[in-house]
Amino acid sequence: MNKPLSPALPNSLKPNSFKSGPDERGHFGTFGGRYVAETLMPLILEVEKAYEACKADPSFQAELDRYLADYVGRPSPLWFAERLTKALGGAQVWFKRDELNHTGAHKINNCMGQILLARRMGKTRIIAETGAGQHGVATATVCALFGLPCTIYMGATDVARQSPNVFRMKLLGAEVKPVTSGAATLKDAMNEALRDWVANVTDTYYLIGTVAGPHPYPAMVRDFQSVIGIEAKQQMLRATGRLPDIAVAAIGGGSNAMGLFYPFLDDTGVRLVGVEAAGHGLDSGQHAASLSKGRPGVLHGNRTYLLQDEFGQILEAHSISAGLDYPGVGPEHSWLHELGRVEYVAVTDGEALEAFQLCTRTEGIIPALEPAHALAHVAKIATTLPDDAIILMNLCGRGDKDIFTVAEALGVKL
């Protein structure tokens, strides 16, 4: 327990605080930054300036807090998953229940923050990318709440496999534009959203859904998601009188994980574990494990670990979970990976499916396939730990959206 930090870097090269990133140019060590076309640079600088002003303005946080409490339903509960713990036979498993948020996932924490920012900036049109559709639904929701038109870019492949969320977005008044370029998944949706932004620079705000993209997005999205870890820390202290031994979260772009991990980064007695999607297996060539199998590169405005070939062409990712199906990862994760502060592991489609069913039967909670990946890793390690050990897992989304995918994977015809 409380294993010391893995010495990936000599201490002299480690920052005084793991919460010190990014620097003023948006760099987390060698990662992050602002790799965008010149047309977008002034816009990104404007977003940064506006966000810094909001951070310094107590009325912004007060406004956000009110919406998070009364509209999103925060704080989300911390739940001791007792039957699951018994079934696994080892460490105690606790869930941070962000699937109970309005719209059913952690995504709305960030959307609420960014929509208030966009309003303060006087923007009148919102665009976003989405993979599983959770961020699209959350964006469409806050746009409906504030009466702003919104366009959601979604890979055509994802439109087909996440049709309930597509319908939800349309009900909320969003325009959903299927993207057919590339493999027609999240990466291509992000390209298309950036192209839209380049063409609509005056009125449009790009509401990025994860801790990636050009600075300030990775830091800003992390800040808005950190409410998860801040609450969890207080709740855990209240419930058990101590911090967890291990905190676990799934990683696609990595926003729910950054949100959970960030407030714990300097509590070095807490092991932090990010779970990537191993798809059909890490050696299958069909996975989304950019930290486990990728190398640093530049895509979508930031420098980070990417799945790429030897010539720097980006590879298609694969995961049963549309929300993890992305060949990159947020730059702060790349940094924490190189610093050795967070351990990154990977879980296959099959393991996630098993965990999905285990959670459903033992706790009466249908998890999204994204946190089912985190749970699959929890199941692996819980059995190796004593029963006074505490594992905190971010249950970042509910699985209603995934029942068709799961049924198909299990060979059930609905």
Partner 1 sequence: MTSNRLPAGGPNRIATRFAAVAAEGRGALITFVEAYDPDRATSEALLAGMPAAGADLIEIGVPFTDPMADGPTIQRAAQRGLKAGATLPATLDMVRGFRSLDAATPIVLMGYYNPVLSYGPERFAADAADAGVDGLIIVDLPPEEADELTVHTGPAGLELIRLVAPTTDDKRLPVVLAGSGGFVYYVSITGITGTRSASEAQLADAIPRIRRATTLPVAVGFGVRTPEQAAAAVRLADAAVVASALIDTLSGDLDEAGRAKPGTVEKVLDQVRALAAGVRGARRNNQAAE
Applying CB under 8 A, the residues found at the interface with partner 1 are: 25, 33-43, 181-182, 187-188, 191, 194-195, 198-201, 297-301, 306, 308, 310-314
Task: Pick the closer one to partner 1 by CB: 216 or 301.
Answer: 301
Q: Nearest distance from residue 61's CB to partner 1, in Å? A: 29
Residue 410, burial from CB neighbour count under 10 angstroms (0-12, 13-18, 19+): exposed
CB 173 to partner 1: min, Å: 26
C-alpha torsion angle, residues 231, 322, 138, 301 (rounded to 10): 90
Q: What is the largest CA-CA distance in the chain?
A: 58
* Closer residue to partner 1 (CB): 198 or 385: 198
d(CA 93, CA 292): 25
Nearer to partner 1, 325 or 343 (CB): 325
Q: 192-203 burial string, b = 16+ CB within 10 Å, else e? A: bbbebbbeeeee
Termini Cα distance of the chain: 45
Which distant-in-sequence residues (6+ apart) come within 8 Å of 68 by Cβ? 74, 109, 112, 227
Closer CB to partner 1, residue 40 or residue 355? Answer: 40
Residue closer to partner 1 (CB basis): 38 or 70: 38
Q: Which is nearer to partner 1, 25 or 413 (CB)?
A: 25
Tell the smallest beta-carbon distance from residue 199 to partner 1 (Å).
4
Distances (CA, A) of 216 to 189, 209, 221, 285: 20, 13, 8, 32
Q: How far is the CB of 332 from partner 1 (least distance, A)?
A: 17
Q: How far is the CB of 37 from partner 1 (least distance, A)?
A: 4
CA distance 391 to 377: 11
Q: Which is nearer to partner 1, 32 or 371 (CB)?
A: 32
Residue 302 DSSP class: E
Closest approach of partner 1 to the CB of residue 213, in Å: 11
Nearest Cα to 342, choosing from 236, 257, 241?
257
Least distance CB 180 / partner 1 (angstroms): 10
Pick between residue 44 and residue 172 the one whose CB is nearest to partner 1.
44
Q: Angle 41-55/217-225 helices, nearest 10 degrees?
A: 30
Distance CA 121, CA 46 (A): 9
Q: How far is the CB of 165 from partner 1 (least distance, A)?
A: 24
CB of 396 to partner 1, least distance (A): 27
Residue 204 or 225 having the CB closest to partner 1: 204
Nearest to 204 by CA among 194, 214, 212, 213: 194
Structure tokens at 66: 């009110």
